[in-house]
Amino acid sequence: MDKKLEKLKAEYLNVPIPKELDSLIAHAIKGRTNNRKRRFRTNILVGLAAALVLFVVSINVSPTLANELSKVPVVKEVIKVFTFVEYSVDEEKHHAKIKVPAISDLKNKSLERSLNEKYLKENQQLYQEFMKEMDQLKQNGDGHTGVESGYVIKTDNENILSLGRYVVNTVGSSSTTFQYDTIDKKKQVLLSLPILFKDKKYITIISENIKEQMKQQMMEDKSKVYWVRNAVVKNRIEPFEQIAENQNFYINKNNKLVISFNKYEVAPGYMGIVEFEIPTDIIAKELVGNKYID
């Protein structure tokens, strides 16, 4: 067993686990025999403590699991990103697929621990909320519910790793959110917009460019609608004025700054997640340096 994964396992043993997981595990095992309509499974782990033991043992006895681990994406042999745990519920009216990412091989262990604990906590909460909603629906005549979460690596180069985590509510009035973390792999720090810029002038500069991009897109494509003042399409929604100081962002493979908005944030739901690549020339003078963006 890799010493670094062993250390990661030991760190996670101290992370709180949902109190009801033990009973859910027992119920799931029993349910596979007595009730085929309700199945709860985890692909790598079921719950945290029990699953970590299973994880360690399985590496030594399961060629299949060992083969899957060999597929873990490696970032220049410096940072590894992998699925630490997956929660899955598959019923006739209720479906959940929740993947929890984890990062290893960061030299900054404090940053590694804080990110992994954040990823675990937010997905545990997502799972608990799903289970609560499902139980309430069943108590009130039942209905449909579904949720899916996962992650994507947006950028992976010698300087940065940009990791995006998404959540999609797949039933009824669906919603989609994306959150990004961008890590300076050399300095071992988490980047933010305030870190990238000299002062807060970037807020106005980026916001004005985004509004121009919105208007231009709407003129060129009538199917696109943004909530922006003085746009071609009129609406009653409060128009977008400016980005937040810590607006959601990532740096793409072309070393360009990309500002991201969640579904419904600046446009109707059918537009989904919307992103705007910011021209480097308009922000170049405001950047602290050109190490990340050029």
Amino acid at 44: I
Q: Are residues 48 and 143 in the same domain?
A: yes
Instruction: Give all strands (DSSP E) within 49-187, no chain letters.
Output: 74-75, 79-90, 94-104, 145-156, 160-169, 176-184
Which CATH number is 180's domain given?
3.30.565.40
Q: Are residues 94 and 114 in the same domain?
A: yes
Taking the C-alpha atoms of residue 68 and residue 75, their distance in angstroms, rounded to an integer, is 17
pLDDT of 56 reads 37
pLDDT of 33 reads 39
Count structural domains, the chain.
2
Instruction: Give all strands (DSSP E) within 105-144, no chain letters.
Output: none
- pLDDT tens per residue across span 188-228: 999 999 999 999 999 999 999 999 999 999 999 999 999 99
- pLDDT tens per residue across span 62-89: 445 444 544 555 444 469 999 999 999 9
Amino acid at 239: P
Taking the C-alpha atoms of residue 61 and residue 46, their distance in angstroms, rounded to an integer, is 18
pTM here is: 0.73
In a domain, 294, yes or no: no
- pLDDT tens per residue across span 2-48: 555 555 545 544 544 444 444 443 444 344 434 434 444 444 334 44
More confident residue, 54 or 98: 98
Q: Are residues 165 and 233 in the same domain?
A: no
Last residue within a domain, chosen from 191, 206, 225: 191
CA distances from 192 to 23, 79, 184, 292 (A): 40, 19, 10, 12
Q: Are residues 169 and 248 in the same domain?
A: no
In a domain, 293, yes or no: no
Last residue within a domain, chosen from 191, 221, 238: 191
Q: Are residues 101 and 204 in the same domain?
A: no
Question: How many other β-carbons are positioned within 10 Å of the β-carbon of residue 245?
Answer: 12
Taking the C-alpha atoms of residue 201 and residue 68, their distance in angstroms, rounded to an integer, is 47
Mean pLDDT, residues 135-153: 92
